[in-house]
Amino acid sequence: MTTCSAVSCHARIQDDRDDFRRVTEAYCISGQLIYVKQAPRTPRGIQKGDRLVDETIELDSALLVIREAAPDDLPLLLPVYLSNPEYVAQSEGSRGEVGYFDLEMFQRDWQIAQMTPGRHMLGVYLKMTSEAIGLADYLEEYPEDGQPWLGLLMIARAHQRQGLGTEAFACLAAYFKNHHGWSSLRVGVMKTNTAALAFWRRLGFLEVTTDDAAAEKPKVSLERAL
């Protein structure tokens, strides 16, 4: 990973990219130049609605591999989700138990994602060890506003505060800009999740709307240019 200042970033991207044959995009965020590569891979065959899609997303940055989740990834990714119990308690619940979430429910959510046009569930892995350490979920076009939304970016509790969330976002943002041609991105955060709000604001997201305080789970919507 190369560090850069805001002034020198553009020039250094131009200079350094020649060393990476498979670079899809080079992206500067929080003073770090992160290379995103489209990694070669054996097609895994993801079911998308009634279609079997062989070419799925796989991105490569300095420390991470981010790829579209397949059924056999879910048991590895479930502990990532469960390692953030405060979020799970606010988002999940079944069998009369607040925050209850298990593999069967995760598999159900994955199936729903496959049937939703333009929705992608991704796993985030450490490049050196292949350990599953994060989750991401994005929608190419939200029906209510026609905008792309990153519905979830989560890092396992044990791997937080190490810059991995920032690197994962930079990797995704570069892909969104280069592959999809998006000029902006939106995220939604529960108003009570102050840590997540601080994270997104630190990455340059600005508030667009806030749900009424009387709402059951008030949410803050934020947006930033890519």
pLDDT digits (tens, 9 = 90+) for 119-159: 999 999 999 999 999 999 999 999 999 999 999 999 999 99
The domain limits of the chain are: 60-182
The reported pLDDT for the residue numbered 215 is: 74
pLDDT, residue 211, reads 81
**Looking at the DSSP assignment, which residues form a beta bridge with residue 221?**
188, 209
- Given this model, what pLDDT does residue 54 score? 46
pTM (whole model) above 0.85: no
CATH superfamily ID and name for 60-182: Gcn5-related N-acetyltransferase (GNAT) (3.40.630.30)
Question: What proportion of the chain, given as a percentage, has pLDDT over 90?
Answer: 59
Collect the ranges in the chain with pLDDT lower than 70.
Answer: 1-55, 92-99, 213-214
Instruction: Write down the pLDDT at residue 15.
Output: 38
The pLDDT assigned to 88 comes to 85
